[in-house]
Chain A
Amino acid sequence: MKIFNITFECETGNYHTFCPISCVAWLYQKIEDSFFLVIGTKTCGYFLQNALGVMIFAEPRYAMAELEEGDISAQLNDYEESKKICIQIKQDRNPSVIIWIGTCTTEIIKMDLEGMAVKSEKKLQIPIIVARANGLDYAFTQGEDTVSAAMAHRCPVNKIFRSNDEKYLNDLDSSDRVKDHLQIKEHKHKDHNLVLFGSLPSNVAFQLTSELKRQNICVTGWLPSQRYSDLPSLGDGVHACGVNPFLSRTATILMRRGKCRLIGAPFPIGPDGTRTWIEKICHVFDVRPQGLKEREEQIRNNLSEYTKILGGKSVFSMGDNLLEISLARFLIRCGMIVYEIGIPYLDKRYQAAELSLLKTTCEAMNVLIPRIVEKPDNYNQVQRMHELEPDLAITGMAHANPLEARGIDTKWSVEFTSAQIHGFTNARDALELVTRPLRRNLSGSIPSNWNNPLRQELSYS
């Protein structure tokens, strides 16, 4: 069934991105009582230590279980070895859950992580979750997807619900409880049981929760939750909605195992995305959305300084974190022309609503639908960029400086994963990021004849 006349291409997959184990960086901070153990080699450790930079010194709640030659050749017993390390972790940190991150090497030597976890869990009396976030199968942010999917299996299954407000209170930080208790009583909705999935900083999660509360919709829980012990209950009658475009496995698990009903919506990135996201959820719960249009317009007005810079500019997204489609859709709405959307992996079902919003956005703004390239080839992309000469390239750090040296302004794509870009409130931050390289040029700090400072052209001139 062909719903959209968007064209999808697929290239060689020779592209640069972060290894999915990088998800421990934000997840150990999100889940406060967790400990992440990455079972891999020196390569994994080296990547983490360099990619996380400063964070590694702040006593992080993660560690490497570094495989040695004896582990690879099975001269050492996997179970005994991992148990030793986990006992140490339990002693030193006493976490509520240990999450094992499987890597390429554990895949290749077929280490039975799931089997070992069950045994260790019994022995240690502490939940052990296995997520296979490896570079053989996944890219960058998909690491979070594997962890959330594994975590969904641990959500309590409840067929008879406690009253909604009581459960809702349990899911909130204690500081918010007293105040919200009163508010909740005002708008109790017995039918609404909504679980949102995707790891967001606690304040962004709070912002989205309160946006929905304005529409009289209570969020009953988040996956992942701030603490492991607060995982939301799943079951018949629970609706689930994703906040990030890279969570397709989690969505599948929630539907199939958790028996949840998935709300297909675009993602709350940019005021347009946030509005449509809320509308879709309202629609499912039969709630008439109130004041959304005005709110979107008001936010949009406040962005005018940014959109003035972006209007008519072209952008080329090389692709590495799966946020690309949502971001492109938002940027088109801001008046940009998107030449290409590179993306590591595209789940057309999970992203269906986002793709359809992309299409209507293109129609509304009267621009061509950009080509979507799955598993891109960076070398080919750079050749295409030389022809297209985009005003901005959204790209990984491996290509940023070389592209800048060739006169193409760049924005590091990694920043979009760590910055707060969700909801109405943070639309500014997203545009702040996108416009930064362009504003740098506006200010005239770089002489215009310097827009191609390649070595060979500079010397002897």
Chain B
Amino acid sequence: MKSAYWMYAGPAHIGTLRVASSFKNVHAVMHAPLGDDYLNVMRSMLERERDFTPVTASIADRHVLARGSQEKVANNMNRKDEEQRPDLIVLTPTCTSSTLQEDSQNLVNRALISSMSDVIPADVNHYRVNELQAADRTSEQTVRHYLNKAIEKGALNRSVTNVPSANIIGISTSGFHNQHDCRELKRLLQGSGILINQIIPEGASLKDSKDLPRAWSNTVPHREAGPMTAIFLKKEFGMPYVSITPAGPSDAADFIGRIEGYINAWASVLSEKEKGVDYEPYVVNQTRFVSQAAWFSRTIDCQNPTGKEAVVSGDATHAASITKILVKEMGIRVRRSGTHRRHDTEWFNEQIQGLCDEILVTEDHTEVGDATARVEPSAIFGTQTERHTGKRINIPCGVIPSPVHIQNFPLGYRPLLGYEGANQIADSVHNSFNPGMEDYLSDVSGGHDTKGVVTKLSSNKEDPKRTTESQLELSKIPGFVRSKIKRKTEVFAKQNNISEITIDIMYAARESFSP
């Protein structure tokens, strides 16, 4: 047992469900007790999803414990098959079914007897992997299943597309700014004349997965979801993949450069006359004019944060990218950079080697908080947890990766990748530090807080008296309605010639309000 308040990555089944519900027409059946279908809430609330989340829980209750769940789970899968005719049903284990040691494959076999849909058991162990690892695995498992099926049927299309093309792997529901990143990535590739073959899992139809190998290369923008799929496609079909995250102008250039290399390799194979592509001018143009980030870091405005200190934490992809941008592009000193992705430590260390003073790899948010308090940076870049740490110790924080709240699912276009992403990150970094002149002026004048004066002017001198109890009661009322209730109570007291407000008067006033 370990004591915990907060976790950076969710349980395994969340990862599986995120991938399954991202595909088009795939339904996940969880084998879980009442209340475990929380992803439905998150999708409906955080992503403001218009459709019902294609996740059903086959409820494990006392009867299941007594009799076993065999029939119930299989029945629920068959029912979903009849009701919604999905292409695929993913049987998703939870901590409960892991503990019950249910034989998922057997449940699947039973469901397959009468099911029109494909059925697979998600191959994840709740006690060994977390949300991100499970998402990666489920994505690979699904793709593998459908490609193997296509091979069996002889339906696999192995010819590459006529023009250079790429797949985007790892865009899924509930991912941090994933939808925006996807759009920006498409823009980035299409801008250099590369055709988007397929995007998985978000919005992908499994019927099309037989065409996945037609792309010239794969791109995996996030390390958290997708690498396993890309590795599988490389092994089986020889597809090269780019695992550079194109965040910030220089990584974006590297990303494009790598793709250029793959395209030219193919181009020479396809036809000898083909000269290959040169993306250099595109990159230069984008860096100089589309992205403002490179120019911004040269403006005098950006002199202010130079040498200021920051700490970074988050998932491996985002923490590494932000660290690189802060140090290389904006001249900010990163005192500490860290991730909660313990199993990805090696990659993380390699990425930010020499860019920060200290590397911290931990899943314990208190350790991150303590380390932050020790360093006392000018700004924090981390998850929502770090934002709260920042609030406590009065240091501004930019939220970069999950876990996040609803405000991190913005309606406006906010990619982190590509050239527009570089603009967004520059804004977010710049806003996190106190603007230069404000910083300077308030230091000089010793602050110019005028709040006290304003309140005094607008307060009413002839308030009826309040008993201490009713004063106490008033303080229990949520802040945002308190003054309104206070005022209404006072009006009520005056109207009824009451000189002292007791708790009873407060309630009587409340009952008398008409809307």
Taking Cβ atoms with an 8 Å cutoff, the residues of A that contact B are 13-22, 39, 41-43, 45-47, 49-51, 53, 56-57, 60, 63-69, 71-72, 76, 78, 81-82, 84-85, 88, 104-105, 107-109, 134-140, 175-176, 179, 202-203, 206-207, 210, 298-299, 302, 304-306, 344, 379, 382, 396-402, 405, 424-425, 428, 453-455
Contact = CB atoms under 8 A, between A and B. Distances in A.
A331 B53 CA distance: 30
A331 to B, nearest CB: 17
A20 B53 CA distance: 22
A68 B130 contact: no
B362 to A, nearest CB: 15
A19 B36 contact: yes
In the A-B complex, the 9 residue pairs with the smallest Cβ-Cβ separation, listed nearest first, are: A19-B35, A135-B33, A398-B40, A405-B50, A81-B1, A57-B388, A42-B11, A41-B95, A69-B127
Contact of A203 (B65, B100, B476): B476
A414 B293 CA distance: 44
Contacts of B515: 305-306, 428
B198 interface: no
Given A14-B59, A42-B10, A105-B99, 12 more contacts: A42-B130, A66-B1, A76-B1, A82-B1, A136-B65, A175-B469, A207-B507, A304-B514, A397-B41, A425-B507, A428-B510, A455-B50
Interface string B8-25: 001101100000000000
Contacts of A305: 514-515
Interface residues of B, number: 66
Contact of B512 (A51, A302, A306, A397): A302
B472 to A, nearest CB: 6
Contacts of B6: 49, 56
A47 B50 contact: no
B50 A203 contact: no
Contact of B513 (A88, A302, A453): A302
B61 interface: yes
B105 interface: no
Main secondary structure of the interface of B (DSSP, over half): mixed
Nearest to A71: B1
Contacts of A425: 507, 510-511
B127 A424 contact: no
Given A17-B35, A379-B83, A402-B50, A137 B61 contact: yes
B48 to A, nearest CB: 6
Interface in B45-67: 45, 48-53, 56-62, 65
13 contacts: A42-B10, A43-B11, A45-B4, A46-B7, A47-B38, A50-B38, A56-B5, A136-B60, A179-B469, A302-B513, A396-B41, A397-B45, A398-B40
Nearest to B515: A305
B96 to A, nearest CB: 5
Contacts of B405: 53
Contact of B33 (A134, A210, A401): A134
Contacts of A140: 35
A417 B514 CA distance: 24
Contact of A454 (B33, B50, B56, B59): B50
Given A13-B59, A46-B11, A302-B514, A397 B2 contact: no
Given A136-B65, A399-B44, A69 B50 contact: no
Nearest to A84: B1
B3 A63 contact: yes
B456 interface: no
B79 to A, nearest CB: 8
